[in-house]
Amino acid sequence: MSPFDLTIAQAAKALRAKDISAVELTTAYNGAVAALNPRLNAYITTTPELALEQAKAADARLKAGDATALTGIPIAMKDLFCTEGVRTTAASKILSPFVPPYESTVSAKLKAAGAVMLGKANLDEFAMGSANITSAYGPVENPWKRREDADAKLVPGGSSGGSAAAVAARIALAATGTDTGGSIRQPAAFTGLAGIKPTYGRCSRWGIVAFASSLDQAGPMARNAEDCAILLNAMAGFDEKDSTSAPQPVPDFTQALTRGVKGLRIGIPAEYRLEGTNPEILALWDKGIAWLREQGAEIVDISLPHTKYGLAVYYIVAPAEASSNLARYDGVRFGARVDGVDLIDMYERTRAAGFGAEVKRRIMIGTYVLSHGYYDAYYLKAQKVRNLILRDFSNAFGKVDAILTPTAPSAAFGLGEKMDDPVTMYLNDVFTVPASLAGVPAMSVPAGLNAEGLPLGLQVIGKHFDEETVFAVSAAIEQAAGFAALPEVRAK
């Protein structure tokens, strides 16, 4: 079997059986990165020498019998995670020279588990976007192609588009992502991957470049639910350095994969059948409902009445928090600096040159809604509605064990197709934002292809800190769907 056909679980087994070494596996992936990244732009920074060093250390651990399920596994690290000695840019010019002297908690946990870092994956600038087109280092290309239009370049989703494209194109075995309003789940759906946003507080945010602090959450992206579970086992856990980290025990998520769904109550929210949603998405949702019913789940109609306000709330809360978090980038202590005639002029020149258009737009929106005279009218009201959205989920989970919805309202679209209208771009997150606002875990699993041959995903939403049920339902959908399609770049 080719090293590019292996899942994490299969690769770990092959490494233990000495069928392949970590150095051989990493060398193969380094070569694939060198060959395909110039086209896809999935990585901002590649680290082939570091990867080989880590692979050699992994082989030593394997020989000593001290290996974990991730020892020797080559992964991509979203360029939002600070990595000691390796440039971390958040896909922004303002952080282009930044080399952190410390390691984020999540990347440190993966490093300790023996994972091999191939490089830092591209993203929307400061994780602000749904298509990976706002990066200061250029857009990412989705490795998937439309059947009848192979020349058109498609977006991979965002903000974790580089992570998604790297895994889909087989130039990483798995990747880390972050999810603020859908930035793991939507790109996973666009690229035929599995990706989970854990419960807010499940994974430490320490050392992750902040976008919106009450929403940001790290999570894994991989080829299937099992690989995501293996990654989350290593990534999750309480961290005293993060005040929002939850002191919750971390179960072995892989144990939930074979539970099945017999006897589970699966909620189907009426509000997610939005007018204008692609009929293929709705048909796939109906198919997912049928799969779960056939496997013994009880299907329950539910209502999440405040869902319709989710996007409006998100695009008040997230920019407000972003305007506060991004105030630190002023050219004084770290990052890029543009000199001026005085301190204020230096601030203005640095931020004007360092931030892209979408980041500036969100800073301005956030500053506006927090300003005197508008705080009560916008930000405070949005927080009240956010509580109502959380209450909707709490009420629903009094009746059901998990909720099934579509992940995104469409398949991947073309570069340039929706870029002129920010509101149209924001609508990509319509199905993912409510779970983020409520802080509940949610996972996208690939469930089929549309008429153009592009992947579509279904989203499973669970109760707070009940990722195990999310994995159980996701694995059941995965098994029923039998999704095994490959993008054009790896299909030949």
Q: Which residues are catalytic?
A: 78, 159, 183
Tokens representing 370 are 């927090």
159: which residues sit within 8 A by CB, 6+ positions away?
Answer: 123, 124, 127, 128, 129, 130, 132, 178, 180, 183, 187
Structure tokens at 140: 């990412």
Our CA angle for 208, 154, 280, nearest 5°, is 100
Q: Helix, strand, coil shares of the chain as percentages rounded to 5?
A: 45, 15, 40
**Sheet (strand 217-222) strand order:** 43-46, 116-121, 74-78, 174-179, 217-222, 194-197, 442-449, 455-462, 402-406, 265-269, 298-302
Q: 159: cis peptide before it, omega within 30°?
A: yes
Task: Give the total residue count for the chain.
Answer: 492
d(Cα 62, Cα 72) in Å, to the nearest integer? 8
State the DSSP H helix or E strand holding residue 140, giving kind and residue range, or none if neither: none
Q: Which residues contact 106 (CB under 8 A, 6 or more apart)?
A: 81, 176, 203, 204, 207, 208, 218, 235
Which DSSP string corresponds to 60-123? HHHHHT---TTTT-EEEEETTB-BTTB---TT-GGGTT---SS--HHHHHHHHTT-EEEEEEP-
Rounded Cα–Cα distance for residues 149 and 336 (Å): 41
Instruction: Give the position of tokens 């679209």.
Output: 413
* Strand 298-302 to 402-406 pairing: unpaired
DSSP 477: H
Strand partners, 448: 456
Residue 226 parent element (H or E): helix 225-235
Distance CA 417, CA 220 (A): 28
Q: Give the DSSP letter string of 271-287.
A: GGS-TT--HHHHHHHHH
Q: Is 310 exposed, middle or buried (0-12, 13-18, 19+ CB in 10 A)?
A: buried
Q: Provide the 10 A C-beta neighbour count for residue 221.
A: 33
The whole-angstrom separation of Cα 375 and Cα 131 is 30
